[in-house]
Chains A and B, each alone.
Chain A
């Protein structure tokens, strides 16, 4: 379960050192756009050594590799696919390159006899990615879809706006594909790092569309994102009440019953269970 994923440039020692202190659910070490071509090898070496040395509790380690069509991706994967990471993030995903990546990872897992199964988060940032999003989401190793709003706008030849109308359909398609395949729908970062109000509005909009997580490019954005994508205190209290009532022997045989005048049935019970699991996992 994810709410917040923080991008960190893989070539910045100071930022790596504090990657795990900000309460993000996952950290994306970026070998792609954040790193100059001349520094690709140094960044790979730095993040690889860093991950060998440090252990992380309750933090998903995600590596954004360079695109499979670049000369860097093979070295990235050979070096970084190991038991120290959880997930590979694939830029400019298509159905074809997502399948290809899955096969490469499978091969490395076997070769290195990894204990973990490495998952994939494809970035939906091309018009083609959006068109193929349901197929991409159906690849077994894919655990979430990240909408890449900035690159997508470039591909669509439109300007990004505060309202986000230009990516509305793509956002919704990512949500639908993710939900249909029971994986995470992760929203694009909000790039105005000093605008907390704008971030809050954007995150609420994404949540309203069905996104269950959001990526970010600055640690100061994490609290707002976690707040938006976490169940509220009221939701947790209501869920507790529901679970308490269904635990009662006399209610166990009933298909539906009411609490405070509201009808409670199976979907609402499942939702309550999910909320309580989130509350527990996120220490709410």
Chain B
């Protein structure tokens, strides 16, 4: 079956029907929250917990990814699954990183046969791309995941919640402790709706403030030596790029924001980690200072750069669903207007007023973008899984202005395609593309085109940008997709926006 973007969708799944259809879906469905009845919550080990619940073949276990590439909890559970040789397990971590390599063996030996996540890279993503996972992997968005959990579409048997700082009843937060990782926003839906909730911690204290993980939901507490390695939290670089091409893209991006009238008091803004994103933030900071502009909030994954902007008064509030570096974590303990936010509050499409819907401007990246402005951040051009939406399609939908920044040509590879290999974010929700060789505006945004009609910026149709790239590199040959679907990209409303296909095993 084909969806509204003419992408193939496995028969038993719901096809994406376009944003117009999505906007009509307004009924929020929530299963009842699951409160604990336990009073004695302490369990001696992961192994003891497996016996106690008990955790059996075919169950679904969930995890959050705030410890990012320093997470040890998922691997502890994976080790226990392997030891017990449990079969047909489903894992639902909010993201998977290279540190989770031990999962590969469990996938190959069919201990784990299904994975539902928002983002993955590294050996697990490679193995899944090569077709080793028995069922199709489901790639959700950060807003789509809590929606799936609260609606019962994703039923979690046991949620393992790594908590750096908690008390003996299960109240906790991620702000303090030797492995403080900041916000625990992705675990909140798991905490409320999973059948069993387990806090895994390495520090138990008497006083917990603020309380992000609530004891009323927590069934079990396991104290371990360490829940991870704090050095693995930092996402990419923490400094703006010095690469002149990316700096030019950043400068043009901020000029575009200014010309479109979004550089103004009370503006709200989101950008990711990484050199170009931080360069955009840096340029924005300079202009905000120059024009004495005070923004309302910055949101999403919070970086030290956004903390700096907040502390010098450029953004009144920070809404934080995850911390990308240590400075962002420490800011939570000293800045009262640096707020914790759940993934639902951030981006759940059925939330009454998710933060993404209040965003003025979001700056996003792309692995590929096509002539319809569809964006791929899930796979590379060969089809290998290298990421996932995270909050990409949530913020693109919610923000009034969604700008994609990317080099037009990167190491002789063209970033614009006739059709992207995998659609992560529909072009309908993408407004502008900024490259080093020009800016393209989505023809659907006639209002933006009108505003820019006298602009001195180098604005041209996306087709012209592609032509320019062809002149530099020649026309690349498209890679043919295999017939075997190994995954699906699930849009934030639960419909399937694209399928992911098996690639050749590098080692075969």
**Residues on A facing B (Cβ under 8 Å):** 17-18, 21-22, 54-55, 218-220, 223, 283-284
For B251, give the chain A residue with the smallest CB separation.
A223
CA distance A145 to B436 in the complex (A): 31
Q: How far is the CB of B272 from chain A (nearest CB, A)?
A: 22
List the A side residues contacting B437 at CB < 8 Å: 21
Q: Are B472 and A17 within 8 A (Cβ)?
A: yes
Q: Does B456 lie at the interface of the complex (its beta carbon under 8 Å from any beta carbon of A)?
A: yes
Which of B242, B436, B456 interacts with A18 by CB under 8 Å?
B436
Q: How far is the CB of A278 from chain B (nearest CB, A)?
A: 14
List the B side residues contacting A218 at CB < 8 Å: 244
Q: How far is the CB of B453 from chain A (nearest CB, A)?
A: 15
CA distance A18 to B248 in the complex (A): 11
Q: Are A220 and B244 within 8 A (Cβ)?
A: yes
Q: Does B247 lie at the interface of the complex (its beta carbon under 8 Å from any beta carbon of A)?
A: yes
List the B side residues contacting A21 at CB < 8 Å: 245, 248, 436-437
Q: Does B409 lie at the interface of the complex (its beta carbon under 8 Å from any beta carbon of A)?
A: yes
List the B side residues contacting A18 at CB < 8 Å: 244-245, 436
CA distance A54 to B473 in the complex (A): 11
Indicate the member of B248, B251, B437, B456 with the most A CB atoms within 10 Å. B248
For B407, give the chain A residue with the smallest CB separation.
A18
For B244, give the chain A residue with the smallest CB separation.
A219
Q: Given contacts A223-B251, A283-B456, list 4 more A-B pairs with CB under 8 A.
A: A21-B245, A21-B436, A22-B244, A219-B244
List the A side residues contacting B409 at CB < 8 Å: 17
Give the interface residue-count category, chain B.
10 to 19
Q: How far is the CB of A200 from chain B (nearest CB, A)?
A: 14
Indicate the member of B242, B245, B472 with the most A CB atoms within 10 Å. B245
9 A-B pairs within 8 Å (CB atoms) are namely: A18-B244, A21-B245, A22-B248, A54-B472, A55-B471, A219-B245, A219-B248, A220-B247, A223-B251
CA distance A272 to B247 in the complex (A): 34
Residues of chain B in range 319-336 having any CB-CB distance to chain A below 8 Å: none
Which of A22, A219, A284 interacts with B456 by CB under 8 Å?
A284
Q: Per DSSP, are chain B's interface residues mostly helix, strand or loop, or mixed?
A: helix
CA distance A17 to B471 in the complex (A): 12
Q: How far is the CB of B126 from chain A (nearest CB, A)?
A: 28
For B409, give the chain A residue with the smallest CB separation.
A17
List the B side residues contacting A17 at CB < 8 Å: 409, 472
List the A side residues contacting B248 at CB < 8 Å: 21-22, 219
List the A side residues contacting B251 at CB < 8 Å: 223
Residues of chain B in range 455-486 having any CB-CB distance to chain A below 8 Å: 456, 471-472
Q: Mark B344-370, 1 if CB is under 8 A from A, else 0.
A: 000000000000000000000000000
For A223, give the chain B residue with the smallest CB separation.
B251
CA distance A283 to B437 in the complex (A): 16
For B457, give the chain A residue with the smallest CB separation.
A283
List the B side residues contacting A219 at CB < 8 Å: 244-245, 247-248
Indicate the member of B244, B247, B409, B437 with the most A CB atoms within 10 Å. B244
List the A side residues contacting B456 at CB < 8 Å: 283-284
List the A side residues contacting B247 at CB < 8 Å: 219-220
Residues of chain B in range 431-458 having any CB-CB distance to chain A below 8 Å: 436-437, 456
Q: How far is the CB of A205 from chain B (nearest CB, A)?
A: 23
Q: How far is the CB of B252 from chain A (nearest CB, A)?
A: 10
CA distance A120 to B242 in the complex (A): 33
Q: Mark B31-47, 1 if CB is under 8 A from A, else 0.
A: 00000000000000000
For B412, give the chain A residue with the smallest CB separation.
A17
CA distance A55 to B409 in the complex (A): 17
List the B side residues contacting A283 at CB < 8 Å: 456
Indicate the member of A21, A223, A283, A284 with the most B CB atoms within 10 Å. A21
Indicate the member of A22, A54, A55, A284 with the most B CB atoms within 10 Å. A22
CA distance A220 to B409 in the complex (A): 19
List the B side residues contacting A220 at CB < 8 Å: 242, 244, 247
Q: How far is the CB of B385 from chain A (nearest CB, A)?
A: 28
CA distance A21 to B409 in the complex (A): 12
Q: How far is the CB of B37 from chain A (nearest CB, A)?
A: 62
CA distance A55 to B471 in the complex (A): 9
Residues of chain B in range 251-273 having any CB-CB distance to chain A below 8 Å: 251
For B411, give the chain A residue with the smallest CB separation.
A14
List the A side residues contacting B244 at CB < 8 Å: 18, 22, 218-220
List the A side residues contacting B471 at CB < 8 Å: 54-55
Residues of chain B in range 224-263 having any CB-CB distance to chain A below 8 Å: 242, 244-245, 247-248, 251
CA distance A54 to B76 in the complex (A): 56
For B437, give the chain A residue with the smallest CB separation.
A21
List the B side residues contacting A54 at CB < 8 Å: 471-472
Closest 7 A-B residue pairs measured CB to CB? A219-B244, A21-B436, A220-B244, A18-B245, A283-B456, A21-B437, A220-B247
CA distance A54 to B436 in the complex (A): 16
CA distance A283 to B471 in the complex (A): 24
CA distance A252 to B331 in the complex (A): 67
CA distance A259 to B218 in the complex (A): 79
CA distance A284 to B455 in the complex (A): 10
